[in-house]
Chains A and B, each alone.
Chain A
Amino acid sequence: MNGINIKNNKKNANKSDILRNIRIKKVKEKIIKNLLFGFGMVSVLITVAIFITLFSESVLFFQHIPILDFLTGTKWTPLFKPQHFGVLPLISGTFLIVIFSSIISIPIGLLSAIYLSEYAHKKVRKIVKPVIEVLAGIPSIVYGYFALNTITPFIRKIFPEASIYNALSASIAVGVMTIPMVLSLSEDSMKAVPNSLREGAYALGLTKLEVVYGVVIPAAFSGIVASFILAISRAIGETMIVALAAGSTPKLTLNPLESIQTMTGFIVQISQGDVVQGSIEAQSLFAVAMLLFVITLSMNLLSRYIVNRFKEDY
């Protein structure tokens, strides 16, 4: 009898030990899960922080300058008297960069994507694609230097009236930098078009070119458009190239050979100078950044919407 009791006690002790271990493990698992959730939330916190920062400082700015004057004013002279805070010149500068960089990045990126996805031999693709992707890995400061010291002299040989700092030179560099972006996103969406569609078209006797514009491009359209939008949004936010090569004279112009200033270029200019914290010039920095953030965010959301809305499922 005694022997059995002892044995049972031991068994119970073991059992409760195990149960306790399991309970500890469960608690531990829960703690870890919550910790990891916290890490996951960091990214949301960053967005919230960006919003709060930009918003709270911009509000101070808009107490001095009515928001309508800011958005519709045609003079931007925060650094000398009389101060004007009309953001249109900065927007037109940014717009110039977007237009002329897109003229390079969109056709060349798209056509290169068509080549790699439809025409190129596998071996060629394997060599060419990484080489072009190197373009995406080069820091923008290097493109800025390239624009200032290589592209600008070249432009001034063709157009002697171009100023040393001009929008065209910066645009070309921004365009070259965003080619890989258009290329890889639109190539991905072309690759996703099922081969049966292509083969059906070939069976009808179409040439490759006809298959490309009749089948592949329509089928991959949403991805292609999304890649354009992302490249444009990248061009809007591009900073170092325009800070180095596009100049720092905000003006309302559509002439790419003139010196201009973009929203990002203005932020760099203010950051480098010694502007007093809390002054209206310093606050204008946040208002411009807010505008930049809102524009790029809406473009990113738009491209996301297009992809989801017009995606063709095969």
Chain B
Amino acid sequence: MNLGKRKNANRIFHGILVCCILFSILMLAVLFIDTFKKGLPYLNVKFLTNYTSRFASKAGIKAAIFGSLWIIVFTIIIAFPLGVCGAIYLEEYASKNKLNDLIKVNISNLAGVPSIVYGILGLAIFVRALGFGRTIISGAITMALLILPIIIVASQEAIKTVPHNLKEASYALGATKWETIREVILPYSMPGILTGTILAVSRAIGEAAPLVVVGGAAAIWFTPQTPFDEFTTLPLQIFTWATMPQREFQGVAAAGIIVLLIVLIFINLTAILLRNKYQDRIKV
């Protein structure tokens, strides 16, 4: 092939590549615009303060907002300490042996298990075997197990960034391993750990599949008072509305999606700000 043809081929290929990028951006734009257009007419203060209803015009998302809050708080309480301690063990204590290799491979495999399988696990163990029923606590433990691998991996990455000489300096002062972890490693890596946790939490907020199986209720007309109450969450409520036969409920579902997306954007912004704030720290 002569040079002109080869250069032309390259130019055409470049054009195709740009189209591929534009396709993703176009999809994103259509998704946002179309959903907002469908949902905005239903989005008002009453939508936020009402419980769901048989009538589209009266349906609100209050129970789902409180349900999501309950679930998320308990998910964090369970998953955060488990995840961070697991990561500390793997990064600071685990020597190279078969068992620790198994733990590492296992964590990356867990991250690839479909979320609905966690739901089945939650149904069999927390709902039935332990008798918690279809309650917030069952849902929260299930969610915690789901995001545990994400938190562990993110915390491991954060702990890896702690400069070696900081640790050595601490040991040179006679600090024990745990004192070094508590006073040097954790404070240094905490912003990274928190960023990872926030991203994992935003995944949990949007996740519906495991909770469908664990049994979030289709309609709730109260705000939960204890972790042993029934619940619904934002994505579950959206799912319920989107499967309603009446056409208007598609608009209500879209309004729910807008609320969910705003919550997620807010959470992700926090994570980005946190990361930027600590990114330019002194490199030792």
Contacts and interface: CB of A to CB of B under 8 A. Distances in A.
Nearest to B182: A32
A43 interface: yes
B102 A131 contact: no
A4 B177 CA distance: 38
Give chain B's interface secondary structure class.
helix
B264 interface: yes
A289 B90 CA distance: 30
A146 B36 CA distance: 11
Given A145-B253, A297-B113, A176 B24 contact: yes
Nearest to B83: A39
Nearest to B213: A271
A36 B92 CA distance: 10
Interface in B175-193: 176-178
A292 B117 contact: yes
Contacts of A53: 120-121, 124-125
A49 B122 CA distance: 10
B207 interface: yes
A154 to B, nearest CB: 9
Tell me which of A29, A42, A43, A53 has the highest count of chain B C-beta atoms within 10 A of its own C-beta.
A43
A143 B261 CA distance: 12
Contacts of A163: none
A139 B116 contact: no
A14 to B, nearest CB: 16
Contacts, number: 244
Interface string B152-166: 100000000000000
A149 B254 contact: yes
Contact of B108 (A179, A267, A277, A304): A304
B239 A244 contact: yes
Given A142-B260, A179-B24, A148 B109 contact: no
A42 B264 contact: no
B143 interface: no
Interface stretch (A67-75, A81-89, A111-119, A251-259): A111-119
Given A132-B25, A145-B254, A264 B31 contact: no
Interface stretch (B11-19, B40-48, B50-58): B11-19
Interface in B106-162: 106-110, 112-121, 123-125, 128, 145, 148-149, 152
A35 interface: yes
A59 interface: no
A299 B109 CA distance: 10
B96 interface: no
Give chain A's interface secondary structure class.
helix
Interface stretch (B2-10, B69-77, B276-284): B2-10
Interface range for A: 35 or more
Given A53-B125, A115-B20, A46 B110 contact: yes
A43 B152 contact: yes
Tell me which of A49, A53, A210 has the highest count of chain B C-beta atoms within 10 A of its own C-beta.
A53
Contacts of A128: 21, 25
Contact of B116 (A25, A145, A268): A268
B23 A114 contact: no
Nearest to B124: A53
Interface in A22-65: 25, 28-29, 32-33, 35-37, 39-44, 46-47, 49-50, 53-54, 57
Interface stretch (A95-103, A190-198, A234-242): A234-242
9 contacts: A40-B90, A44-B103, A46-B145, A49-B125, A138-B31, A145-B238, A176-B24, A244-B243, A300-B108
Interface of A: 25, 28-29, 32-33, 35-37, 39-44, 46-47, 49-50, 53-54, 57, 107-108, 111-112, 114-116, 119, 128, 131-132, 134-135, 137-146, 148-150, 176, 179-180, 207-210, 212, 230, 233, 236-240, 243-244, 264, 267-268, 271-272, 277, 285-286, 289, 292-293, 296-297, 299-301, 304
